[in-house]
Each structure stands twice: as C-alpha cells, then as structure tokens.
Chain A
Amino acid sequence: MAKKLAALDVNKCIGCMGCMFACSRRVGRGGFDKSAIGVRSAGGIERGFVIIVCRACENPPCTKVCPTGALRERKEGVGVILNEDKCIGCGFCAQSCILGAIFWDNEKNKPIVCKYCGECEDYCVHNAIGMVEIKTGA
C-alpha cells in the first residue's frame, strides 16, 4: 500500500520546525532550503500553526501544468515525482499548487516536492504529522 505524509493534528504542532530541519538534514544541510515541508504561524503564534506539505491529491494540478513532463504522477497512483533532468524550472507547478506545497530550490532553480519518505515523522515528537496509507482508485 502506498503511503504519504499527512498533517495528522495541527493542534498538536508546537512550531519547533523539527520536520523542516529533518527534511534538509537528509541531504546534509542544517537549515530548510531543501525542505519539502513548511511550518509557520497562522498569523501570530497564538493562532497556532499551519503545516504545509504535499497532500498527494488526486488529479494533481501541478502535473497538469508541467510543460516537459518532468513532474508526473507516481506509478502507485497518487502523489507526484520529479525528474530533475527534464525540469526547466519554469515554476508553473509551484504556481498551480494553491496549498503552497511545492517548495523552491533556489540553487538549482527547480521545485522541491515531498518524496513521502517519512524522515520528518521521526522528529515530530508531538505527533502532529505522520505517514498514512492511501487507498488508490477509491
């Protein structure tokens, strides 16, 4: 069964950014410029936080606007995968994602999309995010 990362309970998020740091740590970075997940306050910390991550939508708008076929749906049926070699960095995918879940790699001038690897989950000690199974073809 395919899995994806999901915001399980945004009310449990304490805004520590542990997930963002974990995502960039995968590639040997201390920071979040390679992160495919974002957390920010919902307009003042008192209102809580917003967790932004690819929700692996059905019929994803981002793949529809990709002019080169670099960004396409995964074979598993949901979620997207990027072929960096084909990507020309036009940014249409990021514009099409109204969740803001396509992040941008300024060094490469290419999108950063969640690979649903679940690395960040291990560092969310308050269980605000986690991997969930997704049913395909439902």
Chain B
Amino acid sequence: MLMKAKDMNRVLYIDLTKKDIKIEDRGDLFDAYLGGSGVAIKLLEEECRSGIDPLSADNPIIFAVGPLTALFPSASKTVAMFKSPLTGNLGESHCGGRSAMAIKLAGYGAIVLKGSSDIPIYLAIHGDEVKFGDASSIWGMDAVTVGRILREVEKGAGVRTIIRIGRAGERQVRYACAVCETYRHFGRLGLGAVMGSKKLKALIVSADKSVEIPKDKRKEYKKVYDEIHDVVVKTDAMEKYHDLGTSGKIYDLNKIGGMAYKNLKSASAPEEIARELSGENFAEMFLSRRVSCSHCPIGCVHLASLRELYEPGYYFKTTTISYDNEPIWATGFMLGMKSAEDCLMLIDAVDKVGMDVMSTGVILAWATEAYEKGIITMEHTDGLEFHWGDVNVYSEAITKIVEMPTEFYQNLAKGSEYASSVYGGQDYALAFGGNEMPEYHTGIACYLNNLTGARHSHLDSAGYDLDQKLIGKEFTIEEVVKELLKEEEWRQILSSLVVCFFARKVYSAEAITKALNAIGVENGTAEKLDDLGRDIHRAKMDFKFREGFNLSKLRIPKRIFEVPTPHGFLKEEDIRKGIEVYGEMIGR
C-alpha cells in the first residue's frame, strides 16, 4: 500500500482498557517537532497528567519514529516515552532492531498506548489492522520464548518487530526493559515495568506500506541518499562499530583508569581481567555473527555463541547472546567476573528475565558491597552469599529480584536509590537522578552528564567523551556545562529524526536539511534546528520538573570522590557548582 508523506503523521491511539483504537492525523506535531523525541514529549504532555502513578493505567506509553525512517540509512531508532517508575519523572528509551522500520511502514509516525488491560494481552498491528490477542498462555514466559511463539502465530515474517517483556516486566521490577528482536532492548528507566502494569506482554508491528517520493523529488532524493550512504560507510563509524562493536573501547577505557570496577572501589580492573573482558577477546572467543538494525549498513550488533556442558553425558547447549560495551561492563567489571564466559552467562540471565543490564549490575554491586560491610546479611538475601565474581550467586539473585521472595528483593527491584535509602550504604549506591550509573569514571563531565541529563543516561550529552577529549587541557566548569548542554540539545534533533547516535557524524545540520528537503518535508535552516533542539530539551526538562525533579536535591554518592579519575580526584563543590551553572543556563 502506498503512503504519501503526510500519511507519516498518523498517530495510532490504542486504549488497552476499552480495547479500542483510533487514528488521528497529527501533522501539527510532526511539522513542528519532526518526530521521535520531539513528537513523543508533546504526546506525553498531552497524555500524562501531573503526578500520576507510573505503574497505573494513567501512564501512557508512546512509541515514535521520524521523517527519515525507512527513507535514509541509520534513521533506525524508535523512541519510547512514558513516566519512569524508576526515577518518577521522564522515561525515555531508544531501541533499534526492526522497530522503527516496522512502525513507519505499518503507516504510523507514532503509537500511543493508554489504559490497562484486565487480562494479559498482546497487540498485533499489521498495518491498519489492530488485533488484541489473549496473552494468558504466554504470561510468565521469558522474553526469548515469547518471541519464538509469536513469530509462529503472527504474520509479517521479515518485516516486523516483536517488542515484549519477560518476567521482570510482569513483576514490575522498576528497571525492567522491553526486548525487541531478541537481541535489542528499550533498556533504561523501566518501560518493561510499565508494559507489565498494563498486562501488555508484547506488541507486534508489521509493515505493509511504502512511502512515495514525489515525482519531482526523486532525482534529488536518490542523489542525497547516495551522498549520505557514502558517508555512513566511509566514516570511522563502520570500522568502529562493525569490527569489534561497542565493546572495542573497553580495554582502552580501563587502561586510562576511567572504568568503574567492583562498585567503583577502583577505576580500572587488573590487566589480566581487562584483557579477558576486552572486545578483542569476546570477538576471538565467542563472536558468531554481526547483524544490523533495519536500513543501517553498519551492523554493530554482535552476537556471541556460548557452548556449555550443562549435564554430564555430553548434554551440551549452545546459546546466542548479544553483547555490547555496557552489558560487559555491568556484569563483568562491576561484579568482578573473572571470565568472559561468566560474563556472557550473566548477560543471558538478565536478558531472559528482561531487565536493564546496567541497572542490574550496579544494584547487585551495591548489594555485594553492602553485604561485605555487614549492613546486609544472609537473612536479607534469602541465603545467598554475595561476593565478587560468583556467577551462580548472581544468577540466583537475578531470579530472586524478579520473584521477590523477601522484602529485601522487593526493595532491590525498586532500584539502588531506593534500596540504599532503606538499608543505608548511600555513599556507594551509584545512582544519579535515580538511575544507575554507566561505566564511566572519566572526570567531571561524565558525572554532570549523569546528574543533569534528561534521561540520566550517558548518551544524553556524552560527558564521558568530553572528559576524554579534555585530558591534559585547561578548562572551566562553565565551559564543560556549556558544552554538555549544547551536545544534549543537538542530540534532541538526532533523536527526533530517530537517527542512531552511531551515525551522528553523518547527520550534520547541512545533511539533515538536505535529506528533509529531498523527501519534501518542509523545514528550516541549520539555525532553526538548533532552536528546535533547545525547545525539545526544555520541554523534556519541563516534564521532569513538573514531576518533582529538583537540581538542588540531587544526591551525589561519596564514592565518586574517593577514587581518582584520569583528571585526578573530583570535588563535590565543583560538581555542585556545575549543577548550579546548568540550572542557570536552562533558567531553573
């Protein structure tokens, strides 16, 4: 079926309570805010009332794609927005796989889910046909098996996405993720828990349309497409992300002492551990296949093949596990794993239940240190003895976080901010703005990023990258904050176009303007894009503040001041000053 450019502005509203749908043309939003993050925050403003419980029927889930999706390379992400059950304010998570292509070519710019179902359900959206399926028989299943079953019963093979939750989502673990195409995730901030609270096990979207390029634009479109494609495959992105993948930087980051190890008791692992957990070693020992998201030639997704003897008598199993920089860090470095194999086993355990692997690693690292210090005992842990590097204990703990046999695990399921507020040990509970930290201990910029970023994600403003660029240079706190804010504002444009951040160097303001013009989407100049990026960022911050976010109340764990970064020891007063400067810059 054929779509005109204006059809890309359709929003599919699904009411899970009434099992009803409507489709509206929201050209007003797409014209003003492009798509992705820009449109999603506006839909969130419309649909999410102030102060609602994020795990109630009142919390909407918004999936949004962008004008370049399916038309240009690497515009391959879907933005999910919701109120986060982990932080209590903005929930925003990005995922690739086939999700963006499928939503766009099913004929939608965005999908809004509202309400809550009385029984477990799954949604099958095949173009204009929307089906509510009874998910009672797949409720309780892990995220991998559910995908396998729905793949058989629903149509659209090859041109669809299957977004689903595991047990963690069903049990509303606050940092449960949604799993997409088995190996990709809407990771951070608890989308899985919100889906679980709605009894929504899965969402299948399949493509049945294509977008028509106006006849007078076809030549230009092809030309601009080729220019952009050429840059994608010729920049360092290809080499950086296809060869070793995101894990390619692990060894070097550890070497400069910028990598949190064992709950940041130090900022680098011993040399032999760093070699074992390096991207090079994972590739040599376990890499079995590299795959890509739809319409992205890079192919950064790295799949490992792990063969294990699981019972005597030659009973082997081979498991495919996707690995990246962050999962290797969160399981391997943060929990002190000694082998890549143990690391993969733990990543697999987290994937099956469907939790954000970064949060899981940080929470278990806090629990381990709390156990070492005696504020957590075996009574709390339901008999588990937490200690670094024990893959079996951590695997059991993951199951217990989901099943919550004791109050301790109920509290762990609410995140490290919450658990440490109950048991103590806040000085080494490594959450920022309520979200667990990423690996970086590179300097002041990475922590200002964690604290002030709208999603408290390292990808908000890439502070870790700025820190590394600033090594050996003189700089002021004002300069750092200015740079971070500029980066975060610009990234709103990329995530509104749903361009993967790995292709960020390709999509300059000039390239974006050309690409939009070539498909007949009205847009302004590079300067206007800057303004729009700022507007979208402020809209996201407005939502956060509306829901109680407060810059002056941000908790900073003492641990980060006790371990030197590549820039030396950090000082709390500097970070507080940075937060203050940030507040002034955004008018708060």
Contacts and interface: CB of A to CB of B under 8 A. Distances in A.
Interface of A: 14-18, 21, 24-25, 28-34, 38-41, 44-46, 48, 106-107, 123, 125-126
Contact of B183 (A16, A45, A106, A126): A45
B158 A16 contact: no
B210 A29 contact: yes
A40 B289 contact: no
Contact of B295 (A16, A38, A41): A16
A1 B73 CA distance: 33
B292 A14 contact: yes
Interface stretch (B50-58, B215-223, B525-533, B569-577): B215-223
Interface of B: 1-2, 70-71, 73, 101, 105, 148, 151, 157-159, 181-183, 207-213, 215, 218, 221-222, 225, 229, 233, 238, 288-297, 299, 303, 305, 320, 519
Given A40-B157, A106-B1, A29 B289 contact: no
Given A25-B222, A28-B218, A48-B289, 17 more contacts: A15-B291, A16-B295, A16-B296, A18-B73, A18-B297, A21-B70, A28-B213, A28-B215, A29-B210, A30-B210, A30-B213, A31-B70, A44-B151, A45-B183, A46-B320, A106-B1, A123-B229
Contact of A45 (B181, B211, B229, B233): B181
22 contacts: A15-B291, A16-B292, A18-B73, A25-B221, A28-B221, A29-B210, A30-B71, A30-B210, A31-B210, A32-B159, A32-B210, A33-B208, A34-B210, A38-B158, A40-B157, A40-B159, A41-B158, A44-B182, A46-B289, A107-B1, A125-B233, A125-B238
A54 to B, nearest CB: 17
Nearest to A35: B210
Given A33-B210, A106-B1, A17 B294 contact: yes
Given A29-B212, A45-B182, A46-B303, A21 B222 contact: no
B290 A14 contact: yes
B73 to A, nearest CB: 8
A83 B293 CA distance: 36
A118 to B, nearest CB: 15
Contacts of B182: 44-46
Contacts of B289: 45-46, 48
A32 B209 CA distance: 8
In this complex, which of B70, B71, B158, B229 has the most chain A Cβ atoms within 10 angstroms of its Cβ? B158
Given A46-B289, A123-B229, A21 B303 contact: no
Contacts of A106: 1
Nearest to A16: B292
Contact of B101 (A17, A24, A126): A17
A45 B290 CA distance: 10
Nearest to B157: A40
A30 B2 CA distance: 10
B454 to A, nearest CB: 30
A48 B1 CA distance: 29
A15 B292 contact: yes
B211 A29 contact: yes
B212 A28 contact: yes
A18 B218 contact: no
A29 B104 CA distance: 13
A21 B105 contact: no
Given A14-B299, A16-B294, A16-B299, A24 B183 contact: no
A20 B487 CA distance: 34
Contacts of B209: 31, 33
Contacts of A14: 290-292, 297, 299
Contacts of B210: 24, 29-34
A106 B215 CA distance: 21
The 9 closest A-B pairs by CB, nearest first: A31-B210, A40-B158, A46-B320, A14-B299, A30-B211, A30-B71, A16-B292, A28-B213, A14-B292
B115 to A, nearest CB: 31
Contacts of B207: 31-32
Given A16-B292, A18-B297, A30 B70 contact: yes
In this complex, which of A31, A38, A39 has the most chain B Cβ atoms within 10 angstroms of its Cβ? A31
A14 B293 CA distance: 9
B104 to A, nearest CB: 8
A28 B216 CA distance: 10
Nearest to A26: B222
